[in-house]
Chain A
Amino acid sequence: MEIIADFHLHSKYARATSKQSTLENIYKWCKIKGINVVGTGDFTHPLWFEEINSKLEPAEHGLYKLKNIYSKEIEEKLPVSVKNNSVRFILTTEISNIYSKYSKTRRMHNLIIFPDIDSVSKFNLKLSKIGNLKSDGRPILGLDSKILLKIVKETNNKALLIPAHIWTPWFSMFGSKSGFDTINEAFEELTPEICAIETGLSSDPFMNWRLSALDKIAIISNSDSHSVQKLGREANIFDCGLSYDDLLSAIKTNDQRLVGTIEFFPQEGMYHLDGHRKCSVRLTPAQTKSYNNICPKCHKDLVIGVLNRVDQLADRPENFVPKSHKSVEFLIPLLEILSEIYNVKNSVKVIADYEFLYTKFGSELSILKNLSISELEKCGHTKLAHAIEKMRKREVFIEPGYDGVYGVVRVFSPGESTATAGQLSLKL
Chain B
Amino acid sequence: MTDQILPNKKQLEILKHIYGPQIIIAGPGTGKTATLILKINKLVNELKIPHQNILALTFTNKAVNEINQRLGLPDFGYTFHSFCSYILKTKNISYKIIPDHQRKKIINVISSQFGLRFQEVEVGISRYKNLADYKIDKKIILEYEKILQKEGFWDFDDLLIKTYFLLKNDDAVRLQKLKKYKFIFIDEFQDTSKIQYELIKLFVGGSRNICVIGDPNQSIYSFRGADSAIFDQFKNDFPVCKIFYLNENYRNNSKIIEIINQIFPKQSITGIKNDFYDVALVNTLNQNTQAQWIIDFINSKIGGVNLQNASSTSEKLDNNIRFSDFAVIYRNHEHAVTVKKKLFNLGAPYQVIGEDSLFFREETKIIYKIIKYLLDNNYEITTDEINLSKQINLDKKFSETIPSLINLLLSNSKNKDEEYLVDFGLLINEFDHYENSYQKFIEYYDFMLANDSYDEKSDKINLLTMHSAKGLEFNYVFLCFFNNGFIPSKFETDEDKRLFYVSVSRAKKGLFLISPKTYKKRDLYASNYKQFFNLPDVRYIEDENMAREQKRINKQKLKKSQIKLF
A residues adjacent to B (C-beta < 8 A)? 15-16, 46, 96, 98-100, 103-105, 107, 128-132, 134-136, 139-143, 169-171, 177-178, 277-278, 300-301, 303, 403-404
User: Known contacts being A105-B319, A134-B447, A135-B345, is A99 close to B459, with CB within 8 Å?
Assistant: yes
A141–B447 alpha-carbon span in the complex (Å): 15
Query: Do A100 and B315 touch (CB < 8 A)?
Result: no
A96 to B302, CA, bound (A): 13
Contact B451 A46 (CB under 8 A): no
Q: Quick one: closest B residue to A270, CB to CB?
A: B307
| Interfacial chain B residues near A301, Cβ < 8 Å | 314-315
- In the complex, the chain B residue whose C-beta lies closest to that of A135 is B347
Task: Using C-beta atoms within 8 Å of the partner chain, give the interface range for chain B.
Answer: 35 or more
Say how far A115's CB is from chain B's closest CB, in angstroms: 27
- Shortest B305–chain A CB gap in Å is 5
- Which of B194-202, B320-328, B485-493, B501-509 contacts its partner? B320-328
Query: Which one of A16, A130, A139 has the highest number of Cβ atoms from chain B below 10 Å of its Cβ?
Result: A130
Chain B residues within 8 Å of A15, by CB: 306, 347
Contacting residues, chain B, for A170 (C-beta < 8 A) = 303-304, 307, 310-311
Separation of A103 and B318 alpha carbons in the complex (Å)? 11
A141 touches B311 (CB 8 A): no
Residues of B within 8 A of A107 (CB): 303
Candidates B320, B347, B459; contact of A143 at CB < 8 Å: B459
> In the complex the two chains form, is B322's CB within 8 Å of A132's CB?
no
- Please name all residues of chain A whose beta carbon is closer than 8 Å to the beta carbon of B350 when the two chains form the complex: 132
A277 & B311 in contact (Cβ 8 Å cutoff)? yes
Could you tell me the distance between the alpha carbons of A403 and B310 in the complex, rounded to whole angstroms? 10
Q: From B314, B325, B450, B459, give the contact of A177 (CB < 8 A).
A: B314
Chain B positions 216-264 with a Cβ under 8 Å from a chain A Cβ: none
Q: Which chain A residue lies CB-closest to B349? A: A131
B458 lies within 8 A of chain A by Cβ: yes
B439: nearest chain-A partner, CB-CB:
A47
B346 touches A130 (CB 8 A): no
What are the nearest 5 A-B pairs in CB distance? A142-B459, A135-B347, A131-B349, A142-B323, A100-B322
A377–B304 Cα distance when bound, in Å, is: 50
> In the complex, how many angstroms separate the beta carbon of A426 from the nearest chain B beta carbon?
36
Q: Which of A107, A130, A142, A171 has the most CB of B within 10 A?
A: A142
A135–B344 CB distance below 8 A: yes
A171-B307, A301-B315 given. 14 additional CB < 8 A pairs?
A15-B306, A96-B305, A98-B323, A99-B322, A99-B323, A105-B320, A130-B349, A131-B349, A132-B348, A132-B349, A170-B304, A170-B307, A300-B315, A404-B311
Closest to A16 in B: B308
Question: Which residues from A are CB-within-8-Å of B450?
Answer: 128-129
Q: A130-B458, A142-B459, A403-B311 are in contact. Are A100 and B321 (CB under 8 A)?
A: yes
Nearest chain A residue, comparing its CB with the CB of B322: A100
B447 / chain A contacts, CB cutoff of 8 Å: 132, 134
Is A105 in contact with B317, judged by CB distance below 8 angstroms? yes
* A residues less than 8 Å from B321 (CB atoms): 100, 105
Taking beta carbons and an 8 Å cutoff, which residues of B are in contact with A?
Answer: 302-308, 310-312, 314-315, 317-325, 344-350, 443-444, 447, 450-451, 458-460
A100 with B347: in contact, given A107-B303, A130-B458, A403-B311 (CB under 8 Å)? no
State A409–B324 Cα separation when bound (angstroms). Answer: 43
**B345 (CB) vs chain A CBs: closest residue:** A135
C-alpha gap A210/B306 in the complex (Å)? 30
Residue of B nearest to A178 (CB): B303
* B315, B318, B349, B350, most chain A CB atoms within 10 A: B349
Asked whether A134 lies within 8 Å of B443 as measured between CB atoms, the reply is: yes
Q: For residue B443, which residues in chain A have a CB less than 8 angstroms away from its CB?
A: 46, 134
B348 to chain A minimum Cβ distance, whole angstroms, is: 6
The answer, among A139, A169, A277, A303, for a CB contact under 8 Å with B347, is: A139
Q: Could you give 11 example pairs across A and B, Cβ below 8 Å? A: A96-B305, A129-B450, A130-B349, A132-B349, A136-B347, A141-B459, A170-B310, A171-B307, A177-B303, A278-B312, A303-B311
Contacts A132-B348, A135-B345, A136-B347; A105 near B322 (Cβ below 8 A): yes
Which residue, of A98, A129, A141, has the highest number of chain B Cβ atoms within 10 A?
A: A98
**A105 engages B302 (CB within 8 Å):** yes
Rounded to whole Å, the gap between the CB of A40 and the closest CB of chain B is 19
Chain A residues whose C-beta falls within 8 Å of the C-beta of B317 in the assembled complex: 105
A98 to chain B, nearest CB (A): 6
Q: Is the CB of B349 within 8 A of A103?
A: no
Question: A351 CA to B278 CA in the complex, in Å?
Answer: 55
Q: Which residue of A lies closest to B346 (CB)?
A: A135
Q: Which residue of A lies closest to B436 (CB)?
A: A47
Q: How far is the CA of A13 from the CA of B522 in the complex (A)?
A: 38
Chain A neighbourhood of B315, CB < 8 A: 300-301
For B319, list chain A residues within 8 Å (CB): 104-105
Q: How far, in Å, is A131 (CB) from chain B's closest CB?
A: 4
Quick check: B318 and A105 within 8 Å, CB to CB?
A: yes
Shortest Cβ distance from residue B323 to the other chain A in the assembled complex, whole angstroms: 4
Q: Is the CB of A104 within 8 A of B320?
A: yes
Contact B302 A404 (CB under 8 A): no
CA of A100 to CA of B349, assembled, Å:
14
Cα separation A170 to B308 with both chains bound (whole Å)? 11
Alpha-carbon gap, A244 to B492, bound state (A): 67
* B302, B347, B348, B460: residue with the most chain A Cβ atoms closer than 10 Å: B347
Bound complex: CA A203 to CA B346 (Å): 29
Instruction: Specify which chain A residues have a CB less than 8 angstroms from the CB of B345 in the assembled complex.
Output: 135
- Once bound together, how far apart are the Cα atoms of A96 and B303, in whole Å? 13
Taking CB atoms, residues of chain A closer than 8 Å to B306 are 15, 96, 140
* A91–B453 CA distance with the chains assembled, in angstroms: 31
Which residues on the A side are within 8 Å of B307 (C-beta)? 170-171, 404
Bound-state CA distance A379–B437 (Å) is 54
Q: Are A132 and B451 in contact (CB under 8 A)?
A: yes
Contacts of B302 in A (CB 8 A): 98, 105
A98 contacts B347, CB within 8 Å?
no
